[in-house]
Structure 1
Amino acid sequence: MNSIQIKGAYENNLKHISVSIPKNKLVVLTGPSGSGKSTLAMDTLQRECQRQYMESLGMTTDSVSKSKVEAMVGLSPSISIGQQITNRNPRSTVGTVTDMFTYLRLIYERLGEHKCPNCQYTILPSLDKETMQEETSGYTQYIHCPHCNTRLEKFTRSHFSFNTPEGACPTCDGLGEVSDIKKDMVIDENVSLNDGCVKVWMSGTYFDYQKHNVLTAAEYYQIPIDEKQLLNDYSVAQRDLLFYGVESQQFKAHFPNVKPPKTVSKGKFEGVLTSIWRRYKEKGGQSSEASLFFSQTCPDCHGKRLNKESRDVLVHNTSITELTTISLEDIYYWLQNLQTSLTEGQKIFVETYLHDLLEKISRVLKVGLGYLNLDRQTITLSGGEAQRLRLASLLGSGLTGVLYILDEPTAGLHPKDTKGLVDIMKQLRDLGNTVLVIEHDVDVMKEADHIIDMGPEAGSGGGEIVGEGTVQELQSQTESVTGAFLRENRNTIFKRRKGTGQAIQIQNAFKHNLKNISIDIPLNRLVSVSGVSGSGKSTLIFDVLANQDTTECESITGLEAINDVITASQAGLSRMQRSNVSTYTDMFTTVRNLFANLPEAKEQGFRAKNFSFNTAGGRCENCQGLGFISLNMHFIYDLEVVCPVCHGTRFKEELLTVKYEGYSVSDILNMSIAETMELFENHKALAPKIQLLNEIGLGYLKWGQSLTTLSGGEGQRLKLAKELNKKTNNHTLYILDEPSNGLHPKDVKQLLVLLNKLVESGNTVIVVEHNIDIIRASDWVIDLGPEGGNDGGAVVATGTPEEVVHSKTSYTAKFLKESLRV
């Protein structure tokens, strides 16, 4: 069969649609935000592919609900790549998730040179003389120094990993940073025990219990503590007892011949700081005490993660830690130079590793991520970066006959790098795979073999196929939303605002890759900060300006004209599945109170807390108010199955009998924001919130949708809406990170209306953007570059869009010129 046939799909807002997806083609699925693209691709197609795959393995699929579709034929094994970053492990880096670091470690194992610690003779890998010695833990390899014959442990790939005992820095355990307690938040030196010198001991029974324990311990060691004595007057032994407890090495040093008490009644006391540390470690840094800690660069390895011996091993006069801190583009050139400098004998050992590593890096360069370095933590990547990194890795798998489903891979990508990304997708296609891409980028559409356009609106107004074909064919289809955008006259004349004449001035910023740049940001204007990925935009605007970090620049002036600063970045809003759109916007508190005041609720004795899915009383206890049960699938990612007790409603049956205008509290959570506009149009507290969320292009989101499912752009716009609902004093500075992320061109227009409204109200809006439609509509543009990483960090153009287009070194200028048609 040459195509995947979907007939009568009716999941979520899909209106019993039928569509044919040609196999072994690059297919773009587009349409306004919320029109049903993800529902069709992920919730219908991907879910059924997954279900049938499990069935073919003989696994039970009873708990996995079938997609709501009449028929689906011609399916292939599928791999979906979304924008959510699920790996929150601080040990996970770009190097580890791509396996590039593994190949680099293998090269250092074979070619590494190091000095003998006894005689400082340089030991070359070709001179290794191995012996084997059996130990209780297995076999350890040794070499002998050819100069002094000292036996040394041989360096293996494990010695170059910060995730192994052999390679990790012993001080920070390979994390590159160490945590410590903010003592001023825990201890007050100028207060007595009675008056609360230990701030974390709350007043009441707990305080009395802990005070009694430490006084008993002090009596046991015959160093009695006066309850009214100021802490800074304690002896060293008394302080060590209070801080570290009777079992600590610090305190034992004062009484080496005294056995610590075994029970609390006799004087066993853990110590204030020791107790906090224990709870912090037990819960992996997620305890309530997390706010009492701060992190700083490891004083021994200086953030390099490896121990000194491993850091001192050199290949081509470079340590492995030096390589992990430079950009992938620079590593690529370093590896090429290494390749040409190797002897024939050395090539035999590392030729394969070098070839494979160069291939891996070249694919990452093609998708515009050459500015990343290997030790970059994956939790710091944007959704678009993480997706493109995985996409580049998949190309090396060599799989054929696979259906790849990609969710907006151009998110956060400068137009300059779009071609490289398209080339990667075409290579996947040419291997004999089908590539289905949810995308709004016109340049990607132009390269697609087939386009499926959904719409015409979001939410209940969408869910239909409104156009199909190539870009040229869509332009002739009157129902196509995307076709209408492609047909419209783009020769818009923009009126550039002059602003107040005042400006924020940043002098000589040098953080990360910024090259001592100085810029003026005009106030009361819409300002776009553009440039290729990794050029320094976020560093300049978020790290320096938003944080007002004058340690990384000479000065920041002009902020006295600003009354308030509101920032909205791409960082995820919450890791908790319980946090959803309604709780984040504080809408659900109002709704719970609304339901609690209904006559039916009062008759049954229900209170506002009973209408919460986060607390016991009204929620379904089988799923604890989530509406689903998570199944551990072991070798594939977990599945979420509708709760068999509440059937996804989250609540007990008796709660669902209470209705507002015919809707239960569960019904409200399952409605989209747009669908509740009419329902709450006369409610003073809810109506403005709903209207603003619609204006900002989020009307398609459901109130009960988990924040963990939102893209970076959706999360940012939700945060912006929450901030806009607060009353602020003019003049407010809004700093936004790619607010157009995930928006169809039709929705970008709506976003621009909101941004312009903010400026017209006397505010300043700064957007870090790649979207040419946003940049061309701005009053002022600051373009950084010319490249990413070490080759970026410079100002290549500033001025109005009409002035920036004349820059000879700006990539943005080229695309801006085409858009403005000047």
Structure 2
Amino acid sequence: MNNIMIKGARIHNLKGFDISIPKNKITVATGVSGSGKSSLMFDIIFEEGRKQYLQSLGIFPGLEDDKKFDSITGVSPTISVRQSLVRQSNPRSTVGSRTRLLSQLAMLYHSEGTLICPNCGTPLGKNLQCSSCDYKGHSLDVSYFSYNSPNGMCKKCFGKGSYSKVNMNKLVSNKSITVRQVFRNAGTTSGIERVLDRNLHKYMDLPYYKVPDEIKNEIKNGHYTSNSGANNKSYCLSRILEARKKKGEFIGDLYRPISCSACNGYRIGEEARSVLINGKHFGELGKMTLEQTRDFLVQTLQEIEFTQLGKTLAQDIINKLSSLIDSRLGHLTMYREMSTLSGGEIQRIFLNAHLESNMDSLIYVLDEPTTGLHELEKEELLKSIKRLKDLGNTVIIVEHDRKIIQVAEHIVDIGPKAGIAGGEVIYEGDYAGLLQCDKSLTGQYLSDTQKIMKRNLKPNLQNDKTTSWISIKHAKTNNLKDVSVSFPLGVLVGIAGVSGSGKSSLISDTLVPMLKDYFRNYSKNILDCDESDEDSALVETIAETILGAESISGFAEVSQAPIGRNINSSPVTFIKIWDKIRNLFASQEKSIELGLTAGHFSFNSDGACPDCSGSGRKSVFPGSNIQMYTTCNTCKGKRYNPEALQVTYKGKNISEILDMQISEAVSLFEDNKPIVHTLTIMKDIGMGYIKLGQPTSTLSGGEAQRLKLAKEIGKKRKGNILYVMDEPTTGLSMYDTAQLIKLLNKLIENGNSVLIIEHNIDVLKSCDWIVELGPDGGVNGGTVIAKGSPKDLEDNPKSITGKYLKERL
């Protein structure tokens, strides 16, 4: 079968079309954000390929309530990484564990490592006898070099390299804050507060700073009580914040990651740290960049005589590291947690693993692999994708990037707009034909028939005495090399540079923490809350000073940190309008007649379907330990009981409101400003297709970030705010990027400042000022290589971004 043939594709907003996608080619699916690309490529092709493969192995993969299509033929086993699925919270999942490099490194240390005498520091010979002090060592098993093994892990941090600590300075903002208020600031529920009242009744309404030290410790860290033979930690701040963190709730810096003082973040125990190869222990290599590790092993092979097994292991590790470095991942470390990587970095790791396997006849579905990549770095990604196809595989890419669309052998454009205004195949064919397609918004932007708005850039900023600046002096955070840099205010500032060049170190890890310190509203005299001890923050902000912060009235950070990830977390709850909608329903005549309160319009409370407890689904156990879900037969997935569904607002019941797209909700609530304000902002930044009740766990990283952006912009502020954003164009089409630039321009016209970490050339071209870091990633980055207007960078031979700005007319 040379084609994947689908008839009647109709999941989500797809309009029941037929389509044929060629196999053994690179196909790009494009279109505006929310047009239906992912529904077609992931929810139909990927899911059906996976399902048919599992069924062929005798595995029952799941139950379906709705038919997504009439028929599908030509699918092979499918492999995919979606951006919404790559955000793991497990700190044990690292680059080294995902690539199996740490397992190979453990074998190398077991085979070739030299044990150092713990008494006098003398290297022990093959007989493990110390020649200086007669200490007798013992050979360590491979498990001692694994932070996941009880033998190998550091006993203080249990192999995590860090642990979290309650930030009391954040929770206790002044001397009058009571213990009860401290717990409420930490997000304590009313039920837990009742338990705390029983346990700490004497202290709950006392100011925190007057509480005895032993009680303060119990408030922060709790105590263990034996119950039926099990040790249970009492309710305390650390337990409450840890539970919120596990649920995926955003807790900011209330619960700070602290580097482990016992192992210094190396994760492994003292015994394994006593085994060296060429003067370095296992944990040191884990914290080195991949590029540094490769260079170290190459040098070691030249200086030290290994056994044949050791040579083979070392060379295999070097080859794998070289492949990752070629994919522009050399700035990462083996200990870097997978949850902290961008979607693009994860997919490049994934591509490397499959290129090594040399498998063919598979269908790969990739979700925006250019995420987080500089224009320069896309060339290596394209080479990897072409190699994957040349092995005999089909590669389908959901993408908005111009370069990826240009190299596609087949293009499918879904649209014309998002949500209910999308779901149709606008174009199928090659790149030249797409440029000629009048119906395609993508084609119009690629052919320059439609143009992204050109902002009136503020000229000659360097010499404009009316412009205020914020300056950082002598920053040395992470890989920054004593950087002193200034950012103009009242304009749009772009931070550019290749992956790992120091952009996040400069902005997220230096500027933002220093601004937080400047604007923190607490008394410096509350010494009781001083958390200084032998522990140090995991990311230490090292800079001499910040100047000019007094020129702004506040700041708002829109980072890539994940938002709530449980099934009950949705856009409408995140932007804080859910209570307003429920109160609106409770005020309707029918509600008053039936005696319904706002609680009856919550599926977590009185309004829940009695059969599924408001989840809208039921668990099914077909056998073994397999758990699946099917739609609840009682409420048909609506989550509510019949009484709550009787009440309507403008003809819509509460379940229909949650199932409504934001663009529809803007029209429905147009006369209710407290509700419609933030929804309108979401629509303006290309999120009109998102449903109000859509679980946030299904949102991509870019969608989650734009949701945070809408929430921040929607807050009532005095003005003169510095907005700090980290790649908000992630997941945006060219059409939606144009809308985002209009919104950023509006923020600046309203007297604010915007500082944006970005790779998108259209956005950088719209910046009044750009600071570029580089010249490369990791240890080869960390310096400012260019700064000025887009035109200044175009004319600067040191700028890597300048040549791409010049190409985009």
Of 740, 747, 762, the match for 2:736: 747
Q: Structure 1 stretch 667-676 or stretch 114-123: which is displaced more? A: 114-123
Following superposition, the deviation at residue 23 of structure 1 comes to 0.9
Query: Would the aligned equivalents of 2:220 and 2:236 in 1 still touch at CA under 8 Å?
Result: no
User: Is the Cα contact below 8 Å between 1:696 and 1:717 reproduced in 2?
Assistant: yes
Q: Which residue of 2 aligns with 1:109?
A: 110
Tell me the equivalent position of 1:90. 91
Q: Is the 8 A contact 2:411 2:430 kept in 1?
A: yes
Tell me the distance in 2 between the aligned counterparts of 1:405 and 1:244: 46
Which residue does 2:478 correspond to in 1?
A: 512
Equivalent residue number for residue 642 of structure 2: 653
Q: For 2:692, which of 699, 703, 721 is the aligned residue?
A: 703
Q: Cα gap change, 1:105/1:639 in structure 2, threshold over 3 Å: closer, same or farther? A: same
For residue 519 of structure 1, give the secondary structure of its aligned residue in structure 2. strand
CA contact (8 A) 2:7 2:17 kept: yes
The aligned amino acid for 2:143 is: S
**Secondary structure in 1 aligned to 2:784?**
strand
Alignment of 1:168-567 (within 5 A): 168-179=153-164, 210=199, 276=236, 295-343=257-305, 346-488=306-448, 495-498=456-459, 500-548=466-514, 552-567=542-557
Residues 223, 234 of structure 2: 8 Å contact kept: no
- Deviation string, structure 1 residues 173-227 (Cα, Å, up to 9, x no partner): 2222345667899999x99xxx98998799999688657999xxxxxxxxxxxxx
Assess if the C-alpha contact under 8 Å between 2:413 and 2:426 holds in 1: yes
Change in 2 beyond 3 A, CA 1:323/1:636 = farther
Compared with structure 1, are the counterparts of its residues 618 and 4 closer, same or farther at alpha carbon in structure 2 (3 Å cutoff)? same
User: Which residue of structure 2 lines up, in the alignment, with residue 607 of structure 1?
Assistant: 597
Moved more, 791-800 or 592-601: 592-601
Q: Which amino acid aligns with 1:163?
A: N
Task: Check conservation: 2:289, 2:334, Cα contact below 8 A.
Answer: yes
Matched with 2:586 is: 596
Contact 2:565 2:695 (C-alpha < 8 Å) held by counterparts:
no
Q: Which moved more, 1:174-183 or 1:50-59?
A: 174-183
Relative distance call for 1:243 and 1:605 in structure 2 (3 A) is closer
TM-superposed CA distance for 1:496, in Å, is: 1.4
1:63 paired with 2:63, answer yes
Q: Which amino acid aligns with 1:34?
A: G
Moved more, 320-329 or 295-304: 295-304
Decide whether aligned partners of structure 1 residues 645 and 292 sit closer, same or farther in structure 2, where only a CA change above 3 A counts.
Answer: same
Range with bigger deviation, 373-382 or 290-299: 290-299
Aligned to 2:753: 764
* Range 562-571 or range 588-597, more displaced: 588-597
Q: 1:185 to 1:34 in 2, by over 3 A?
A: closer
Mapped partners of 2:337, 2:622: distance in 1: 26
Equivalent runs, 1:669-708 vs 2, <5 Å? 669-708=658-697
Query: C-alpha displacement at 1:533, in angstroms?
Result: 0.9
Q: Tell me the residue number matched to 1:720.
A: 709
- How far is the alpha carbon of 1:587 from its aligned partner? 2.7
Asked if the contact 1:363–1:424 (Cα under 8 Å) also holds between the matched residues in 2, the reply is no
Distance 1:466 1:809, change over 3 A: same
Gaps of 5+ in 1: 129-142, 215-229, 249-261, 264-269
Equivalences for residues 778-789 of structure 1 within 5 A = 778-789=767-778
Task: Give me the whole-angstrom Cα distance separating, in 2, the residues matched to 1:187 and 1:754.
Answer: 36
Shift of 1:548: 1.1
* Structure 1 SS opposite 2:334: coil
In structure 2, stretches of 5+ residues that fail to align are 185-189, 204-209, 518-540
Tell me the CA shift for residue 763 of structure 1. Answer: 1.0
Sort the Cα spacing of 1:600 and 1:789 in 2 relative to 1 into closer, same or farther, 3 A. Answer: same
How far residue 451 of structure 1 moved from its aligned partner, in angstroms, is: 1.1
Asked whether the 8 Å contact 1:64–1:641 carries over to 2, the reply is yes
Matched, 1:159 2:144: yes
CA distance in 2, matches of 1:240, 1:765: 41
Distance 1:197 1:693 in 2: 36
Change (3 A) 1:710 1:309: same
In structure 2, the residue matched to 1:40 is 40
Assess, with a 3 A threshold, how the Cα gap between structure 1 residues 612 and 210 changes in structure 2: closer, same or farther: closer
Larger displacement relative to structure 2 (446-455 or 83-92): 83-92
User: What is the identity, as a one-letter code, of the residue corresponding to 2:146?
Assistant: S
Does the 8 Å CA contact 1:169/1:301 hold for their aligned counterparts?
Answer: yes
Q: 1:24/1:115 Cα in 2 relative to 1: closer, same or farther (>3 Å)? A: same
Equivalent runs, 1:112-131 vs 2, <5 Å: 112-117=113-118, 120-124=121-125, 127=126
Whole-Å Cα distance in 2 between the matches of residues 638 and 396 of structure 1? 33
TM-score by length of 2: 0.85
Shift of 1:275: 6.8
Secondary structure of 1:7's match?
strand
CA displacement at 1:730 relative to structure 2: 2.0
* Residue pair 1:44, 1:67 contacting (<8 A) in 2 also: no
CA distance in 1, matches of 2:138, 2:350: 36
Contact 2:224-2:234 at 8 Å conserved across structures: no
Instruction: Please identify the structure whose Cα radius of gyration is greater.
Output: 1
For residue 521 of structure 1, give the secondary structure of its aligned residue in structure 2.
Answer: strand
Q: Write the distance in 2 (CA, Å) between the matches of 1:186 and 1:558.
A: 27
Maintained 8 Å contact 1:453/1:481: no
Does the 8 A contact of 1:366 with 1:421 survive in 2?
A: no
Deviation of residue 665 (structure 1)?
A: 1.3
Contact residue 372 and residue 499 of structure 2 kept, 8 A: yes
Give the whole-Å Cα distance in 1 for the aligned partners of 2:770 and 2:196.
58
| Aligned match of 2:523 | none
Q: 2:794 aligns with which of 797, 805, 818?
A: 805
Retained in 1: the 8 A contact 2:221–2:237?
A: no
Alpha-carbon separation, structure 1, partners of 2:254 and 2:105: 38
Give the AA of the match of 2:513: N
AA of the residue aligned to 2:456: K
Distance 1:484 1:155 in 2: 64
1:793 to 771, 777, 782: 782
Say whether the 8 Å CA contact 1:673–1:702 is kept in structure 2: yes
The one-letter amino acid paired with 2:106 is R
Q: Distance in 2 between matches of 1:309 and 1:113?
A: 12
Q: 2:116–2:276: 8 Å Cα contact kept in structure 1?
A: no
1:796/1:807 contact within 8 Å kept: no
Contact 2:385–2:395 (CA<8 Å) still a contact in 1? yes
- List per-residue Cα deviations over 1:299-344 (Å, max 9, x = no partner): 221111222231232212322222122211222222233334454x
For residue 602 of structure 1, what is the amino acid of its counterpart? I
Quick one: structure 1 residues 186 and 448, their matched pair in 2 at CA, closer, same or farther if it must change by over 3 Å? closer
Larger CA deviation: 365-374 vs 654-663: 654-663
Deviations 1:353-404 (A, max 9, x none): 2343233323322332211111112222233322332232232233222111
Distance 1:375 1:675, change over 3 A: same
Question: What is the root-mean-square deviation in Å for CA atoms of aligned residues?
Answer: 3.7
Specify the alignment match of 1:138 in structure 2.
Answer: none
1:571 positional shift: 1.1
Residues 1:390 and 1:205: Cα distance change in structure 2 (over 3 Å): closer
Q: Provide the C-alpha distance between the structure 2 equivalents of 1:244 and 1:59, rounded to a whole number of angstroms.
A: 45
- Give 3-state SS (helix, strand or coil) of 1:123's partner: coil
SS at match of 1:704: coil
Q: Deviations over 1:549-592 (max 9, x none)?
A: 68621111111110120110111111222110111122322222
Cα contact 1:243–1:274 (8 A) shared by 2: no
